[in-house]
Structure 1
Amino acid sequence: MEHPLKNFSKTYRLETIVVSNPDTSYRTEKSYVRVAEVYYLGNEKDYFKYHVLVVDFNFSNDDNAMGKFLKQISYLFDELELAVDKNGHIVEINNLDFLRLRWMKLAARLSENHEGEAINNYFSQISSVLEEESRLISFLEGYNMFGLLFNGLLQPLDTKIKRVSSEGFTEIITPVRDGDKIILTTAAEDPEPAGIDHFRGLFVFREGHNEEGFTEIKKDNTHLKHSLLWIG
């Protein structure tokens, strides 16, 4: 069984842009960029094993207190060992105990200089995510984490499908062949119950592997843009 990323290592640039109050004079824009190296470790139990190492972070707001805080939190997930099924979904976190221990140490260090109800709630949310592997998998498959890569689309499709997205609505994914590329376009079937005002996405595959991806989500006066680019 050949693994979908083809090479033994690949490097991707992942970016999330958050635009708050986009249609008002209070509009703000923040960018969160990560560069991740993905290493193929072999197969086990019909799963592909990958080591994900985030080697660079570039947050546009890391010059203020909250930006610095979020950047330090992000380091918690800069090293992951994942088991992924043939469809590209994460099925196991193989270094979960390492992440839990790391979080205990990081939370203790951060609590020395950060306090308040908002900080405590943030800590509680992360602790809750790490309590159960299924919650952590759902978190990591979100578009703001690694959902543009480990998203059930590691390999291109040849027929239209529907699936439930990480945002809770049904995505319609349609493949179109363009020379040696397969382009997947995504749209929302009925986004309103999930509170989504607008959704669209696009994935480009060449020779069977994911070269770039993009999703755009508008909800709650927030415009979210997530992108993935293979850079080496």
Structure 2
Amino acid sequence: MISIVHGLKEYHLEPKVGARYSYRFETIVDDFSNERSPVQKSYIREVQIMPIGREGYLDIYQIFTAKISIKSNVAVADEYLIKQIGYAFDEIEAGVDYTGKIVRIFNMKELSSRWDKTSRELAVEYEGSFIQSYFGEISMILNDETRLIEFLSTYKMFGLYFHGLFGNYLLWEMPIVRRKTIEDFKNSEVEEQIHPEKKDGVRYKIRGRSSNVDKYEGELLYNDYQLQEALIEIEDNMQSVKYATLFLG
């Protein structure tokens, strides 16, 4: 039996220490729950991803969020607050294994300490039990490495780049099947099927199945061992959410 999967036997990133890769991560939400007044919001992060070395079997990356912006066809309430919460997950030092999956966070204390200071400053302007509870939830994530890794690995954060799909591919083990939880759809569980192939670069085609969503599909496109663009689109009868990543240089 031929073991090569659509021309692809194996695939890994080849991080170059000292390089700086610029990406745009975007989450686009189309809310059509009100047919007369559909709402579109786009949350955009300009991110620098920098390989800085190795520790044991892990490649170490710095992930720096240079800018956060929000676009919408309606006014966005508390835009400043949303951005400050986004910057809580900035300047991350992550350990990544050979599959491209985040498995360690090396600067937990710095992240937690910075958020403690930011949340105290925000609490002066934003009051109420809901806000305080939300701030507390962020604090718990930043003090729990497992929860932080899970959050950073979601598609709305950095899961389109650090996805854990690299490795050796055997025809009889295809497609790659895994389960994902999608927070933006009431934490629905989806069974993903991923088909890697080599055709005009390397492509990962993704399809998902769930009783709670009507559409779940996407792809990751690579060239010269570098992610060029990625998109996951999920839709139910109330909204469509697109998670997108684009290589800027």
Match of 1:4 in 2: 13
AA matched with 2:13 = P
1:150 maps to which of 157, 162, 172? 162
Superposition map of 1:21-170 within 5 A: 21=32, 24-60=35-71, 64-153=76-165, 159-167=174-182, 168-170=189-191
Which of 103-112 and 6-15 deviates more? 6-15
Name the CA distance, whole Å, in 2 between partners of 1:35 and 1:137: 20
Go from structure 1 to structure 2 and tell me whether the alpha carbon gap of 1:141 and 1:227 turns closer, same or farther (over 3 Å shift). same
- Which residues of structure 1 form unaligned runs of 5+? none
**In the TM superposition, what whole-angstrom CA distance separates every residue of 1:97-155 from its partner, at most 9, and x where no partner exists?**
01111111111000000012331232122122123110010000011111111111367
Go from structure 1 to structure 2 and tell me whether the alpha carbon gap of 1:224 and 1:96 turns closer, same or farther (over 3 Å shift). same
Name the CA distance, whole Å, in 1 between partners of 2:101 and 2:195: 19
Match of 2:194 in 1: 173
Go from structure 1 to structure 2 and tell me whether the alpha carbon gap of 1:113 and 1:154 turns closer, same or farther (over 3 Å shift). farther
- How many Å apart are 1:6 and its aligned residue? 3.5
- Which residues of structure 2 form unaligned runs of 5+? 1-11, 183-188
Name the CA distance, whole Å, in 2 between partners of 1:64 and 1:202: 30
- How many Å apart are 1:157 and its aligned residue? 5.8
Name the CA distance, whole Å, in 2 between partners of 1:12 and 1:170: 27
Aligned residues with identical type, % of pairs: 31
- Which secondary structure does the structure 1 equivalent of 2:95 belong to? strand
- Which secondary structure does the structure 2 equivalent of 1:115 belong to? coil
Which of 118-127 and 69-78 deviates more? 118-127
- Which secondary structure does the structure 2 equivalent of 1:112 belong to? helix
Go from structure 1 to structure 2 and tell me whether the alpha carbon gap of 1:23 and 1:216 turns closer, same or farther (over 3 Å shift). farther
If asked which structure has higher relative contact order (CA below 8 Å, sep 6+), I would say 2
Match of 1:228 in 2: 245
Name the CA distance, whole Å, in 1 between partners of 2:119 and 2:108: 16
RMSD of the TM alignment (CA)?
2.3
Name the CA distance, whole Å, in 1 between partners of 2:176 and 2:57: 23
Name the CA distance, whole Å, in 1 between partners of 2:34 and 2:64: 37
Name the CA distance, whole Å, in 1 between partners of 2:83 and 2:168: 33
| TM-score in terms of structure 2 length | 0.83
- How many Å apart are 1:31 and its aligned residue? 0.7
2:230 maps to which of 213, 217, 220? 213
Check conservation: 2:45, 2:67, Cα contact below 8 A: yes
Report how many aligned residue pairs link the two structures: 227
Structure number with larger C-alpha Rg? 2
Name the CA distance, whole Å, in 1 between partners of 2:32 and 2:129: 24
